Amino acid sequence: MNLNKTNTKSYEMDMCSGPILKKMLLYSAPLMASGVLQLMFNAMDIVVVGKFAGDNSLAAVGSNTSIIGLITNLFIGLSVATNVMTARFFGSKDVKALTRTVHTSMLLSLLSGILLTVIGVGGAKWILELMQTPAEVLPLAVLYLRIYFLGMTATMIYNFGSAILRGIGDTRRPLYFLITAGVINVALNLVFVIIFKMDVAGVALATVISQCVSAYMVTRCLMREKGAIRLHLKALRIDKDKLLTIFRIGLPAGFQGIMFSISNVIIQSSVNSFGPIIMAGNAAAQNLESFVYIAMNAFHQAAVTFTSQNFGAMKWKRINKTVVYAQVCVTVVGLLLGNLVCVFGKPLVGIYTSNPEVVSAGLDRLNIIARTQATAGMMDVMVGALRGVGYSLMPMIVSLIGVCGIRIMWIFTVFRMEQFHTIQNLYISYPMSWFATFLVHLGCFLVIRTKLEKRMKTHGPGM
């Protein structure tokens, strides 16, 4: 049974024909809006605790960012595989494979969330102590992390469900779900922290509740769908072949994310050694940089989905054009937003805290990392393109050596020298690793592109 054009709905997108740049912008705009809104809602956690609970609470919430990424990245990588497979089977019009992918993925999301909750709640204190979290921050950080992970099942359901929708070109409905959940999150933040004085527990609980709302909405959406991506709860089961493919594509992506997070955890541990003021400034600046990153990441996700659909349709020339357009877009967005954040850095960091020392510490990070973030976007687009055409292990290996290796080597060699042991020299490890890894990924893609063009001569250019 095959998909046909009469089944295509307005929220779906055929990426295998028509103008690539226009469709890429239409696809990326809701993703960008979703990411920015999500960060704005998440920033409210930091703003509320920074303004109404104090610097220790701000440091407690901020210090958990890298830990949460470390623990969840493996399973986020599996949701990337769901996106790739959904797009590929949608592009090749394989209904049976698409249906099995949907049900395997959603059951996997449920199991993943339960496992993450056990890990996060049970290991919170040990992990934070391992990261050298200061004693005055530790109790608040542990409390925040444990409550946050109580909502991890809902988070996984939303991530996998959204990956399925993105795979068919639908980035609008995940945006609507996010807006609804985000407004609830912000409202509960204010109520729990300002009125009920719940401190970090309040912002964590607000996050959990909003995650449950978004999970409910995406599940309800899939259950009401018509066609191959419709979710039937009674049909939830693991398809062995699809699960193995998810693991083949997703595990390298997830493992890469874990190693990125490990390097970030090592950096966070080094940041922690400079004390609560630097920790708070780092947390505020990191949150601002996330806005730049998430805007660029929309084109990374576009690269994944566009290349996956066209790979399924065997349209190799459109894959090449996709990479070029994605690189142009991500570079422009990265340079523009990264430098704007620096220009308005003082008032922006001031949103998070009134302490001038914390503001100064935040500016130190922004002036090094935000200005160079475009290279991170360029690197991610290449990774997305490689994964979209089925190469997941290669970008993982390159990224491990390039990003993680350079950062860790820098921290344990140059940074440990007394004359270089400053927070600025710690931050320099980011742009160095981004640029070096981008160059290697680019070389890998050029080699793979040659293989794809040879395959085109054998199979034809596709319809």
Q: Could you report the per-residue pLDDT of 355-365, keeping only the tens digit for each?
A: 889 899 899 99
Total domains in the fold of the chain = 1
pLDDT score of 456:
59
In a domain, 13, yes or no: no
Segment 61-78 mean pLDDT: 80
Q: According to the model, what pLDDT value does residue 460 have? A: 47
* Rounded CA separation 306/447 (Å): 19
Question: What pLDDT is attached to residue 336?
Answer: 95
187: pLDDT strictly greater than 90: yes
231 occurs within a structural domain: yes
Q: How confident is the model at residue 8 (pLDDT cuts 50, 70, 90)?
A: very low
Closest CA to 326 of 9, 13, 15: 15
Separation of first and last alpha carbons in the chain: 19
Per-residue pLDDT, 99? 96
What angle in degrees, to the nearest 10, is found between the helix axes of 240-272 and 65-92?
150
Using pLDDT thresholds of 50, 70 and 90, give the confidence band for residue 459.
low
Please give the mean pLDDT across all residues of the chain.
Answer: 87
Across 188-224, b (16+ Cβ under 10 Å) vs e yields bbeebbeeeebbbbbbbbbbbbbbbbbbebbbebbee
φ, ψ dihedrals at 103, nearest 5°:
-75, -35
Q: Is residue 449 part of a domain?
A: yes
For residue 205, give the amino acid letter. Answer: L
CA–CA separation, 283 and 132 (whole Å): 16
User: Stretch 286-304: mean pLDDT, rounded?
Assistant: 89
- Across residues 366-391, what is the average pLDDT? 92
Q: What is the pLDDT of residue 268?
A: 79
Mean pLDDT of 256-274: 78
Q: What is the mean pLDDT of residues 303-317?
A: 86
Residue 136 tokens, joined: 């005055």
Angstrom distances, CA of residue 311 to CA of 17, 89, 166, 226, 458: 13, 10, 16, 25, 15
- For the cut 50, the answer to whether the pLDDT of residue 190 exceeds it is yes
Q: Is residue 197 part of a domain?
A: yes
Averaged pLDDT for residues 398-412: 86
Q: Is the pLDDT of residue 280 over 80?
A: yes
How do residues 133-177 score in pLDDT, each as one tens digit?
Answer: 888 889 999 999 999 999 999 999 999 999 999 999 999 999 999
pLDDT at 458: 65
Q: What integer pLDDT is reported at residue 311 of this predicted model?
A: 85
Q: How far apart are CA 312 and CA 414, in angstroms?
A: 46
| pLDDT for position 244 | 95
Q: What pLDDT, on a 0 to 100 scale, did the predictor assign at position 247?
A: 93
Range 190-209 average pLDDT: 92
Domain annotation covers residue 458? no
Lowest mean pLDDT among 204-208, 228-232, 397-401: 397-401
- State the pLDDT confidence band at 2, using cuts at 50, 70 and 90: very low
Confidence of residue 85 (pLDDT cuts 50, 70, 90): very high
Name the more confident of 59 and 109.
109
- Kindly give, in sequence order, each residue whose CB lies less than 8 Å from that of residue 419, ignoring residues fewer than 6 positions away: none
**pLDDT tens string 27-56:** 999 988 888 887 777 767 777 888 788 778
Structure tokens belonging to residue 183 = 């407004």
Across 116-140, average pLDDT? 89
pLDDT grade, residue 338 (50/70/90)? very high
Does a structural domain hold residue 41? yes
Say if 6 falls within a structural domain.
no
Question: What pLDDT sits at residue 381?
Answer: 95
In a domain, 11, yes or no: no
| % of the chain beyond a pLDDT of 70 | 95
Residue percentage of the chain with pLDDT more than 90: 49
The domain of 58 spans: 19-453
Task: Give pLDDT, residue 436.
Answer: 92
